[in-house]
Amino acid sequence: MSALLEVTGVTKRYPGVVANDNISLTVNAGEVVALLGENGAGKSTLLKAVFGLIKPDSGEIKIGGTPIVFGDTAGVISRGVGMVHQHFQLVPVMTVAENIILGDEPKRGIFINKKAAHDEILALSKRYGLEVDPEAVIEDLPVGMQQRVEILKALRKDVKLLILDEPTAVLTPQEIDELLGVIRNLADSGVGIVLITHKLHEVMAVADRVVVLRGGKLVGATSPKETDEAGLAQMMVGRSVVLQVNRTEAKRGAVVLEVKGLQVRDDRKILSVKGVDLSLHKGEILGVAGVEGNGQREFVEAICGMRHREAGEVLINGVATKDMHPHAVHEAGISHIPEDREKHGLVANYSIADNLVLNQFDQAPFAKGWVRDLAEVAKNAISTVEKFDIRTPSAFNTASSLSGGNKQKVVVARELSEELPVLVAAQPTRGVDVGSIEFIHNQLISARDKGAAVLLVSAELDEILSLSDRIAVMSDGKIVAIVESKDADRNYIGRLMAGLKE
């Protein structure tokens, strides 16, 4: 029997980069193949080609022994290939049912058979143990639930090959465990699975084989049995990576940021931050741990002036900051690495160079009075791209042309460039490869050592544990405990995050 998926010599060039350079790879039924690589290594490009979304410049892709027709996504789907994309491919205003049936709708005459669709989805969700409400509207659902819809969509057509492009990037630890279980079950039932992820422990937990891409080339293949996380990281980055952050004892100074009785409502007008008091000292990293959706996002947005403070105040060096005024808050001394880099961190159509000075484009040296000094902007861009190892053919390409991890580096580089007294970093390494994570972590530590007060909010408990000097646990809109990190116990914090008392 021929392999489920056979990729032979695929090459795809984009202006200025070779995204895939002569890549060959096979996937057999019943195995989980993890595809590893840094951001921009060409993983997504390869899988888009497999799914018929883009046409490679050369090479061949066979599914079940027959070559695919490039550009014929519907044909690829009908041959039993399902894909969960890195960015949700769901229509926000439509229902779960409408999203799942899109492209191959059950019909009665010329009309959509809504009853049949509803029943089919209930059956599907029962079969895979992924519960959904077919009539719920996507935009009202939490991300974990949306991801579940994505997976059901991919599984709908008796899938033989399932491709998952960073499916765990936005999930909580519990949701990730659940998903890995689903992946294992599917593989055991004979489905071939290709998994892209940046989280090496997931690879170790679930993969049968590992294939590593670097700079568009296939640089190695291994299996979890033959290596460990450090070995995988080294293959990806091409040098040894320190997974454990080295940091010295914090030199804690005076209180810089003070939050008093803060209450904030979420988008649905429900009180999600229910009275938070917090002091952040100069020269320390305070990590806020918590299961996502427990008010962290609203908390950060309220501090940074992006969301109305229902009650309470935020003081910097004893001076209250203005509510709902991001610019004033920034002037008062807070830089902010936002959770959603696409929406709040970057202007997609601006160049990387312009994005790097968004916070100080109107100040010297980037402006002289009313006139921008573009030479300075360019000089800054070139040196920053070099220093932060932002992978791009040119600093003057648009930010939208960058891969996720490189976009994040632009945001981090910009926010650290000013050296303000307070740095608020929300999910700073989400969707970022190990090499870049190491880099970003070191940048946060060095900002701390230079005297900044860093508020780190992350859904990754490991990140919180390895970076923070103190850890605050947030649950149901409240800080339920603050512990010194040297006294922190993983299990204890995990229980607090889950809302359990002691």
Partner 1 sequence: MKMLSKRNGYFLAAILATGFFYFNGSDVTTSVYATGTVFALPLALAAMVGIMCERTGIVNIGIEGTMLISAFVAFFVASLTQNIVIGLIAAIFTGSMMGLVLAVMAVSWRMDQIIAGTIINILATGLTSFLYVQGKTIPNVFQSFEIPLLSKIPFFGPVLFIHGALTFLGLAIILALYVAIYHTTWGLRSRAVGEHPSSADTAGVSVARLRYINVTIAGAVGAIAGAYLALELVGSFERGFIAGKGFTALALMIFGRWNPLGALAAAMFFGLAQAYANQLMIDQIVNIPSQFTAALPYIMTIIVLTISAGKVRPPAAEGQPYEKGQV
Residues that bind partner 1 (CB under 8 A): 48, 51, 53-54, 71, 73-78, 83, 85-87, 89-94, 98-99, 101-105, 107, 110-112, 153
What is the DSSP code string of 257-297? EEEEEEEEE-TTS-EEEEEEEEEEETT-EEEEE--TTSSHH
Decide whether 146 or 468 has the Cβ nearer to partner 1.
Answer: 146
Q: How far is the CB of 100 from partner 1 (least distance, A)?
A: 9
Minimum Å gap between C-beta 131 and partner 1 is: 22
| Residue 431: CB minimum distance to partner 1, A | 15
87 versus 344: smaller Cβ distance to partner 1: 87
Report in angstroms how near the CB of residue 112 gets to partner 1 at its nearest: 6
d(CA 261, CA 276): 5
- Residues 314, 120: Cα–Cα separation, whole Å: 51
483 — phi, psi (to 5°)? -125, 150
Q: What's the min distance (Å) between Cβ of 358 and partner 1?
A: 23
Q: What are phi and psi of 60, to 5 degrees?
A: -135, 145
Of 158 and 249, which has the nearer Cβ to partner 1?
158
Q: What's the burial of 203, exposed, middle or buried (CB within 10 Å: 0-12/13-18/19+)?
A: buried
Q: Which tokens sit at 331?
A: 């002037």
For partner 1, give the closer residue by CB, 54 or 182.
Answer: 54
- Whose CA is closest to 54, among 43, 41, 70, 78? 70
Nearer to partner 1, 12 or 441 (CB): 12
E strand map for 79-141: 81-84, 107-108, 111-112
Query: Can you tell me the distance from the alpha carbon of 63 to that of 355, in angstroms, rounded to the nearest whole number?
Result: 42
Looking at the Cβ atoms of 91 and 254, the one nearer to partner 1 is: 91
Q: ∠ CA 177-178-180 to the nearest 5 degrees?
A: 65
Residue 16 region by backbone torsions, left for phi larger than 0, else alpha for psi between -120 and 50, else beta: left
Nearest approach, Cβ of residue 107 and partner 1 (Å): 7
* Rounded least distance, CB 19 to partner 1, Å: 12
Quote the least distance from Cβ 73 to partner 1, whole Å. 4
What single-letter DSSP state applies at residue 95? B
Q: Which is nearer to partner 1, 46 or 280 (CB)?
A: 46
Cα distance between residue 109 and residue 457, in whole Å: 53
Q: Which amino acid is at 379?
A: K
Instruction: Specify the residue, 106 or 293, whose C-beta has the smaller distance to partner 1.
Output: 106
